[in-house]
Amino acid sequence: MVEQEQGSEGRTSPSWLLALDTATALASISLYDGWRVVAEQSWHSSRRHTVELTPSVYRVLEQAGVRPMQLSAVAVALGPGSFTGLRVALSLAKGLSLATGAVMLGIPTLDIVAYPHQWQQLPVCAVVQAGRGRLCWALYQRDGSAWRRLTDYHLSAVDALAGEIHEPTLFSGEILPENAERLRSLLGDHFLLAPPAMRLRRAGMLAEIAWGRYQTGEADDPATLTPIYLHELPSGTSP
């Protein structure tokens, strides 16, 4: 377990974790101290991640009175997601880790989407948009006291995803209105949609997942950490 540092007056100084997510058109950043989300910002960036992320991180740190050299860890959403978007946050996270010595932690994007729903008993389908009418998705469910992922990370069309759902399932994440309408028409009562605020992929959730790894002493190598990219399987091929 990682212990927090002792200040000059014997008081415990917080270990700061910065979380960065630009996996899709949605961007989110968060500052976490192990007890609370100290600051968080989420916004629809479209294709402006490159020019918006660094100034936003600077503002969040400045508002919290935290300098980059005080960071103990940097977490980043690894994907699946957009090719360019994933690399924006990953590049900044690597730069901060190498410059400050902060531990680096990569977390799969769909794990972040599913995380806030871990206390419910229904299966959860976490979704992010992949373009051209396709979705990246995975299924999760609580098994006794354990929260676990049931499937691999998949990339498929909406109809193919519907074909994998065989019981009432809560959907969360980036689900366009037309996707929701199609899934509802195919699945009927088996399609349950989380409210908009609960579908939002937040860096605060990314920070909390990463903090658990940080506390156990885990770390990823900035030199070798790479995004998770998915490729659609040919028609008729089983995943």
Segments forming the whole domain that contains residue 51: 16-109+201-215
- Both 102 and 174 in one domain: the answer is no
For 89-100, the pLDDT digits (tens) are: 999 999 999 999
Are 32 and 137 part of one and the same domain? no
Tally the domains of the chain.
2
**What's the pLDDT tens digit per position in 13-69?**
579 999 999 999 999 999 999 999 999 999 998 788 999 999 999 999 999 999 999
Give phi and psi for 53, each to the nearest 5.
-65, -55
Whether residue 238 has pLDDT greater than 60: no
187 lies in some domain: yes
Instruction: Provide the residue type at 98 as one letter.
Output: L
**Do 126 and 95 fall within a single domain?**
no
The stretch 206-227 carries a mean pLDDT of 97
- pLDDT value of residue 10: 38
User: Is residue 32 domain-resident?
Assistant: yes
Mean pLDDT in residue range 224-232: 88
pLDDT at residue 13, as a whole number: 58
- Examine residue 234 and state whether it is found in any structural domain, yes or no: no
Confidence (pLDDT) at 7: 37
Give 183-213 pLDDT, tens digit per residue.
999 999 999 999 999 999 999 999 999 999 9
Name the percent of the chain lying above pLDDT 90. 85
Q: Are strands 191-193 and 154-157 parallel, antiparallel or unpaired?
A: unpaired
> Is residue 1 domain-resident?
no
User: Do residues 81 and 183 share a domain?
Assistant: no
Same domain, 51 and 117: no
Shared domain check, 210 and 174: no
Half-sphere exposure of 92 (CA within 13 A, CB side): 25
This prediction has a pTM of: 0.91
Residues 54, 136, single domain; the answer is no
Instruction: Return the CATH number at 188.
Output: 3.30.420.40
Q: Which pLDDT does position 14 carry in this prediction?
A: 74
Residues 91 and 135 in one domain: no
Question: What token pair was written down for 122?
Answer: 């229904």
Tell me: do 129 and 88 sit in the same domain. Answer: no
10: in domain: no
In a domain, 224, yes or no: no
170 and 55 within one domain = no
Over range 116-144, report the average pLDDT. Answer: 94
- 167 plus 211 within the same structural domain: no
With bands split at pLDDT 50, 70 and 90, how would you rate the model's confidence at 133? confident
Same domain assignment for residues 34 and 152:
no
Is residue 6's pLDDT more than 60? Answer: no
